[in-house]
Structure 1
């Protein structure tokens, strides 16, 4: 136990340059069992340690961070460890990489029942299916830690404190919001940088971003998808090939039959793998209204624009980047997206309201239809139903 406390103290004391995440304020920390899901690389470990640093006195030893990837937990159960922790005055356990522990869901339920004075906050992959365990999902408050929004990216680089806005606020008051932001910065100056390398926190590290991202993607496939979904290792090359082929045409309509032939797997397996890649936050799938998985998606997008650059060595069209950015930022604001009637069009549903969006570059500024909202690139401030594309990066 003391060894883990020493590690906890070291991590907390050496957490420098803490980056504020909006999720920290959105979580109901009074709940006894909290799950933090997020894709690999978005900063789940840092998030847990930041919570420990901001909320607890390190000398009281009532909060403890542990990584369940530690070999110690091949012979020690979470339940017995939690029992010892509570008996010694512990009140909050922060469990990282929960999915690395074989019987994690059963033991979390056991801890919840046996130790009412104990709070557990656990972090794991988005590939984990908490809702498959009805009993566990009924007692867990689950949250998603996402990659940086454009707003967060700007706040980090420029030392600002820009606030987020709801979709309704942006639609109804975008001109005033954009004008207030433009008084402080040029929001277009760093927009391409964000599209290229701003979504994942490790752009702050002194390493080659593209190589680091490729390593992270491979880890997502090898560990998160194969391990959690219990796929045989021999299928990894097929999964990697499928992701690469999708990246070459994204956003594009997937030809399931051709992908089946190219990857040497069945059509049903292609469909299942698409869902695995989506749950790992590597792709997004877009359907027409009334359609959803397991039907074939109308379009497949990369999950965020950063993924497009290292996977695709050929030049990327501006329209593809613009649509991918819009999908990613809107999707993270808990909206439902459906395919519109034409290229570059989305139907967005939020709180029983439905909006039709058209994504355009600045050159597409011709006659506008009144029933559409235009998200326009390379535009600092919009007017009426024309909104700057970058402003949708302020949704979270």
Structure 2
């Protein structure tokens, strides 16, 4: 116990962060068991340490641990919780719980055995928190931390603070929304948007030289494949190699319209194995899969198109990604991250919430593709102000 408290004290000595992600208020809800999932590098550890500070300032006796600490070579999470409870501890915060064997079973025991203790933990986005050895579905509140929105990027990098804007408000009056944002930003917004698309999705990039960002992103992808998926899905070394090859095929041609049979033949894998690998890459937030419909049987279909999860991945995996791919990747990412359903549209690029049709393009894009389609909109790059059914693409970066 002493070494864990010493480790926590050392972390807090050098931890200074007064900028908070969009999810921070959500973990302060009065839930006894909260799980925070997310891609590596999006700020889960920072969020947990901020939560620790808030609890301590409120007089709650709390302890932070990482599941990778050598303490757990010989001790269990349950024994730690029992000891912390005997010391009067009221909160246990666990970082990277997916690195701990039997995490679900012991969390269930802690939840049932110490009803006065609050537990929050982080995990890889690849981990299905409801499919552990023990059933946590009735006990667990799950939150998903995404990368930075364009709104958060402006706040973190340029101290330009704005509130999130609902999709309905954007669609109702694009001119008023875009005008108010341009006035608030008070800088040329389009160059800032281009910066964000290249290096603004991950908070850590703020402290790196721009030329180092692609290398760090590739490290994140490799770690997800070699560590997270390998441990969570039980990948062998050969499986990791195959998944990397598959990602390489997809990354060079996104948005990728998959022919699963050809991919399987080329990689000497079964069709079902390829489908499973693609689904794992989606779970790990490396890919975004787009289906012809959402919900129900959609997960039994092959995806209609495959995108990388965010535009920063595009720039690190392609030397010169196409403008159209960048635009579509951004739109899909920001809409899904803000909780909206997105599927393939038969008339245009995307169907949102099974109601709104969107065609993505540049400032010269006309209405021909969506002519006669109800509730159809153009999301246009390289414009600052919206009007009618034309909405600046960058405005969708304010959804969360």
Shift of 1:61: 7.6
User: Contact between 2:155 and 2:161, CA under 8 Å: does it hold in 1?
Assistant: yes
Q: 2: distance between equivalents of 1:316 and 1:361?
A: 15
1:143-171 Cα distance to aligned partner (Å, 9 max, x none): 00110000000111111211101111211
Q: 1: distance between equivalents of 2:303 and 2:164?
A: 31
Q: Secondary structure at the match of 1:292?
A: helix
1:306 corresponds in structure 2 to 312
Q: 1: distance between equivalents of 2:246 and 2:390?
A: 37
Q: 2: distance between equivalents of 1:94 and 1:251?
A: 39
1:284 corresponds in structure 2 to 288
Q: Secondary structure at the match of 1:137?
A: coil
User: What root-mean-square deviation, in Å, do the aligned CA atoms of Structure 1 and Structure 2 show?
Assistant: 1.7
TM-score by structure 2 length? 0.93
Q: 1: distance between equivalents of 2:80 and 2:98?
A: 17
Shift of 1:93: 0.7
1:205 aligns with 2:211: no
Greater displacement, 282-291 / 163-172: 282-291
2:192 corresponds in structure 1 to 190
2:167 corresponds in structure 1 to 167
2:301 corresponds in structure 1 to 295
Task: Please list every run of 5 or more consecutive structure 1 residues that lacks an aligned counterpart in the other structure.
Answer: none
2:337 corresponds in structure 1 to 332
Aligned length: 390
Greater displacement, 324-333 / 181-190: 181-190
User: Contact between 1:12 and 1:52, CA under 8 Å: does it hold in 2?
Assistant: no
1:379 aligns with 2:383: yes
Task: Please list every run of 5 or more consecutive structure 2 residues that lacks an aligned counterpart in the other structure.
Answer: none
Q: 1: distance between equivalents of 2:180 and 2:14?
A: 36
User: Contact between 1:12 and 1:50, CA under 8 Å: does it hold in 2?
Assistant: no
Distance 1:17 1:115, change over 3 A: closer
TM-score by structure 1 length? 0.94
Distance 1:30 1:262, change over 3 A: same
1:254 corresponds in structure 2 to 258
Q: 2: distance between equivalents of 1:369 and 1:17?
A: 49
Q: 2: distance between equivalents of 1:2 and 1:227?
A: 29
Distance 1:14 1:174, change over 3 A: farther
Q: 1: distance between equivalents of 2:174 and 2:157?
A: 23
Shift of 1:28: 4.7
> Where does 1:1-396 land on structure 2 (aligned, <5 Å)?
1-57=1-57, 62-133=61-132, 135-185=135-185, 186-206=188-208, 208-289=212-293, 292-313=298-319, 315-342=320-347, 345-349=349-353, 354-365=355-366, 369=371, 371=374, 372-396=376-400
